[in-house]
Amino acid sequence: MTTQHAQAIQVQGLEKSYKDLQVLRGVDFTVARGSIFALLGSNGAGKTTVVKILSTLLKADAGTARVNGLDVATQAADVRESISLTGQFAAVDEILSGRENLVLVARLRHLKDPGKVADDLLERFSLTDAGARKASTYSGGMRRRLDIAMSLIGNPAVIFLDEPTTGLDPQARIEVWQTVKELADRGTTVLLTTQYLDEAEQLADRIAILHQGRIIVNGTLAELKQLLPPAKVEYVEKQPTLEDVFLTLVGDNGTDGDAGNHRVPAGK
């Protein structure tokens, strides 16, 4: 089937409960090969749960998911060979240097010249100068870049990034965004989760919002913005931001629901 190859990720009717807590209630989406897909949702919406199921760390209760055409439930080992996961919390070994971290992963993946793989990645992620230093001395942004570099070893076709820029300063976030864009330019499919709406606006080809166990919208930024009526035309037309769309759909406690005129209360 050609559709199997056009889509890097196909998710249908995914359900997952933790004891009595029903987290996923029928999640459906697809991600086109070589695109960046952002999964948005509030804390506890189930983003990490989706990522864990797709990366075979967790079994779904119902539904199907295919990654690179492979079923995550029945072909888990094959799926694992073709993906990488950068978790919500950095997986870098603090005691090792940046270069040693990379060499270690390259060895684990049985690559031919681990030293060269490491040096190439240090170069690509602007970490050459810091390569010999212990990762414990790295800034948050450097650590994230190293973490992403580690996950690229072996050239996975699909990469999952669970909140790749949480806790980073604006400069470091921009560096990570650049990295993610380059990945997609090279043909890697990226699924990222984020709580930062500007991150999704900046990076994603398509954006899906996970809310109360389901994907409640899924589209391009332009399509999502069209869900809200355009702002009143006074002197200047104010287009709704993704934040407006998100808060309207997810429900914004404490406002009167006048979405077109929604104002961000502070800090923006």
Q: How far is the CB of 132 from ligand ATP (least distance, A)?
A: 33
Nearer to ligand ATP, 99 or 173 (CB): 173
Is the Cβ–Cβ distance between 65 and 71 less than 8 Å? yes
Site for ligand ATP in 72-111 (CB under 6 A): 88
Non-local (6+) Cβ contacts of 201 within 8 A are 221, 241, 242
Run of H or E including 150: helix 140-152
Nearer to ligand ATP, 21 or 266 (CB): 21
Binding characters for ligand ATP, 191-210, by CB under 6 A (x = yes): ----x---------------
Between the CA of residue 107 and those of 88, 118, 135, 222, what are the distances in Å? 24, 10, 18, 44
The upper half-sphere exposure of residue 146, i.e. CA atoms within 13 Å in the direction of its Cβ, equals: 33
Cα separation of 212 and 53, whole Å? Answer: 17
Nearer to Mg ion, 17 or 75 (CB): 17
Tell me the residue nearest to Mg ion as measured from the CB.
48
How distant is the alpha carbon of residue 47 from its chain centre? 9
Q: Is residue 20 near ligand ATP by the rule CB under 6 A?
A: no
Member of 10, 35, 48, 97 binding Mg ion (CB under 5 A): 48
Q: Is residue 41 near ligand ATP by the rule CB under 6 A?
A: yes
- Binding residues for ligand ATP (CB under 6 A): 18, 21, 23, 41, 43-49, 88, 195
